[in-house]
Chains A and B, each alone.
Chain A
């Protein structure tokens, strides 16, 4: 069964450093998302991306965050200058078209630890 893959599974970084989290969505999907889950809390929407541009973003997704689809397969989330409170599990998700595909497929996540 096709799946969303995320790398790395764990990322440790120093406060103030830039990190790039990588995702390979399911190949025929057109809508891409990033969510995050702070330890012990609920999953929160960050951003949605379609047709090479951001469709919607949450308050969390400030100027320190950016997303990119650099080629036909990868979808990345960059955090320019990490803060301690950015520590969380980051999930990439993708979705296809049509009513039957109106559901998200999530990757296994990247656990980001900011020290």
Chain B
């Protein structure tokens, strides 16, 4: 099956710093998604990317869909303590019965020190 490699595995940063994490895939995805998971909760969608090369922002978050469709990155600018959580990339090949079947990366654990 398709594999997603997400890096880094964890990050420890100071409040106010910028953060960058990325995902690479062994094969093409048609859609890239970035989720955040907080303790005891399910993943919450942050950003969805639908086109190769697309750059999308959501507040302090910016994500890009790689040109090759095999990678994506997520940037968080000016981090704050509530950014703490696990960030997952996910890929989807939409079409037919595969809508909603997501392949997740391993996650990046983000810790923000005040």
Give the total number of A-B pairs whose CB atoms are below 8 A apart: 59
Which of A41, A56, A102, A108 makes the CB contact (< 8 A) with B97?
A: A56
B40-61 interface (Cβ within 8 A of A): 40-45, 48, 50
Q: Are A106 and B42 in contact (CB under 8 A)?
A: yes
Q: Are B40 and A103 in contact (CB under 8 A)?
A: no
Whether A78 is near chain B, meaning CB under 8 Å from some CB there, is no
Q: Are B101 and A56 in contact (CB under 8 A)?
A: yes
Q: Are B100 and A93 in contact (CB under 8 A)?
A: yes
Question: Which of under 10, 10 to 19, 20 to 34, or 35 or more describes the interface residues of A?
Answer: 20 to 34
Whether B98 is near chain A, meaning CB under 8 Å from some CB there, is yes
Beta-carbon contacts of A1-35 to B below 8 Å, as 1s and 0s?
A: 00010000000000000000000000000010101
Whether B13 is near chain A, meaning CB under 8 Å from some CB there, is no
Cβ–Cβ < 8 Å partners of A44 in chain B: 104
Chain B residues within 8 Å of chain A by Cβ, number: 24
Which of B41, B42, B45, B106 makes the CB contact (< 8 A) with A42?
A: B106
Which of B33, B42, B103 makes the CB contact (< 8 A) with A91?
A: B42
Most buried by B among A44, A55, A95: A55
Beta-carbon contacts of B94-114 to A below 8 Å, as 1s and 0s?
A: 100111111111110000000
Whether B62 is near chain A, meaning CB under 8 Å from some CB there, is no
Whether B31 is near chain A, meaning CB under 8 Å from some CB there, is yes
- Identify the A interface with B (CB < 8 A): 4, 31, 33, 35, 41-45, 48, 50, 55-56, 91, 93, 95, 99, 102-109
16 contacts between A and B (CB under 8 A): A4-B42, A31-B99, A31-B100, A33-B100, A43-B43, A43-B90, A45-B101, A45-B103, A48-B100, A50-B97, A95-B100, A104-B45, A106-B43, A108-B40, A109-B40, A109-B41
- Identify the B interface with A (CB < 8 A): 31, 33, 40-45, 48, 50, 88, 90, 94, 97-107
